[in-house]
């Protein structure tokens, strides 16, 4: 379980609780269940929206079972249930607990790209080897938060390859828009490239995503992250992000934005950590170009086998 409180100089306070349980049942089948409650004082902007919605109610985020097979050195993973949309860098830990308190611009629901709160209810299959694999998800939208896609078939395909210290992924999604049909016709359709490199406590990663949130518009953008945790830094992990977003639409609905974030994650105690971020962004996102975000997270873990 994790309990988080946060404050942003944009006059926003937030609180959240996440409960996560996982384990293994018979015949090698593993399960994963995650629920959350979160609320914030102002329902504007993307502060603290890295991985969870702030609807002031308890919501099931993920609830799935999966099994891993390794035939003749290969890899087959089958998953069924409710899970995060497997497009690019998409896990909760990637966006909620590294040191960033805001999602990438291209991954926030109000900016006409994808959303980290997109979920699928369906079947997901990974086939390949540990170094080269293809993942396919077939399901229907099960989104939480403000961006709730209209009913329909979702298809997500992702390929991933590992070369030494580098992991490269290519993803594509075809789904339904989350805006009303009277305004947004056609399909959500995005393609993305993601890259991760790690060595000796230094990680560089990023995504570039392009496509359409609905017919007649185009969105493209991406981000690059630097995450550093060397032994001499003790409990401190330093993070930096540079990003941009372009939503091409009829004036005055277009959106072009840039943002730079510098911050850190600091382990205060074994179970208590702080995240601090200084954000500089263009005025198209907010009247305030500079913001300071601070969060505290208390993580409580229990091994059911003890």
179-195 pLDDT tens trace: 898 889 999 999 999 99
Cβ atoms of 265 and 239 within 8 Å: the answer is: yes
Q: How many angstroms separate the CA atoms of 188 and 281, rounded?
A: 26
Question: Tokens in use for 295?
Answer: 């969060």
Q: For 8-12, 77-81, 207-211, which range has the lowest pLDDT when averaged over its residues?
A: 8-12
The residue with greater pLDDT, 107 or 96, is 107
Could you check whether the bond before residue 252 is cis, i.e. omega within 30 degrees of 0? Answer: yes
Residue 256's CB: how many other CB atoms inside 10 A?
12
Q: Taking residues 10-33, what's their average pLDDT?
A: 92
Strands 166-175 and 29-40: unpaired
241-286 pLDDT tens trace: 999 999 998 878 899 999 999 999 999 998 999 999 999 999 888 8
Cβ atoms of 182 and 97 within 8 Å: the answer is: no
241: nearest Cα among 191, 293, 299, 200: 293
Helices (H) and strands (E) in the chain, counts: 1, 16
Banded model confidence at residue 161, pLDDT cuts 50, 70, 90: very high
Q: How many angstroms separate the CA atoms of 112 and 189, rounded?
A: 11
Is residue 306 predicted with pLDDT exceeding 60? no
First to last CA, the chain: 17
8-state DSSP, 270: S
Is residue 55 predicted with pLDDT exceeding 80? yes
Beta bridge partners of 98: none
How much is the pLDDT for 285? 86
Query: DSSP 3-state assignment of 73?
Result: helix
Cβ atoms of 90 and 126 within 8 Å: the answer is: no
Residue 93's CB: how many other CB atoms inside 10 A?
8
How much is the pLDDT for 253? 82
249-261 pLDDT tens trace: 887 889 999 999 9
Query: How does 279-306 read in b/e, with b if 16+ C-beta sit within 10 Å?
Result: bebeeebbeeeebebebebeeeeeeeee
How much is the pLDDT for 192? 98
């Amino acid at each position: 379980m994790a309990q988080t409180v946060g404050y942003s100089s944009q006059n926003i306070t937030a609180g959240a609780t996440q409960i996560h349980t996982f384990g293994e049942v018979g015949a090698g089948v593993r399960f994963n269940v995650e629920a959350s409650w979160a609320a914030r004082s102002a329902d504007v902007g993307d502060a603290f929206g890295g991985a969870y919605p702030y609807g002031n109610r308890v919501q099931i985020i993920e609830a799935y079972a999966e099994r891993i097979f390794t035939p003749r050195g290969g890899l087959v993973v089958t998953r069924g249930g409710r899970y995060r949309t497997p497009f690019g860098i998409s896990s909760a830990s990637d966006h909620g607990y590294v040191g960033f308190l805001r999602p990438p611009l291209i991954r926030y629901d109000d900016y006409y790209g994808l959303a980290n709160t997109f979920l699928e209810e369906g079947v997901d299959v990974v086939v390949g080897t540990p170094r080269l694999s293809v993942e396919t998800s077939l399901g229907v939208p099960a989104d939480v938060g403000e961006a709730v896609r209209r009913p329909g078939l979702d298809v997500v395909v992702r390929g991933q390859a590992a070369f030494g210290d580098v992991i490269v992924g290519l993803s594509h999604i075809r789904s339904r828009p989350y805006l009303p049909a009277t305004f947004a016709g056609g399909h959500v359709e995005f393609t993305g490239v993601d890259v991760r490199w790690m060595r000796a406590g230094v990680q560089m990663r990023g995504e570039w995503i392009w496509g359409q949130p609905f017919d007649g518009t185009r969105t493209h953008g991406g981000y690059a992250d630097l995450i550093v945790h060397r032994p001499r830094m003790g409990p401190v992990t330093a993070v930096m992000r540079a990003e941009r977003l372009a939503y091409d639409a009829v004036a005055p609905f277009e959106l072009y934005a840039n943002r730079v974030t510098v911050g850190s994650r600091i382990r205060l105690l074994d179970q208590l950590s702080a995240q601090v971020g200084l954000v500089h962004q263009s005025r198209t996102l907010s009247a305030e170009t500079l913001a300071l975000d601070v969060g505290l997270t208390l993580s409580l873990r229990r091994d059911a086998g003890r």
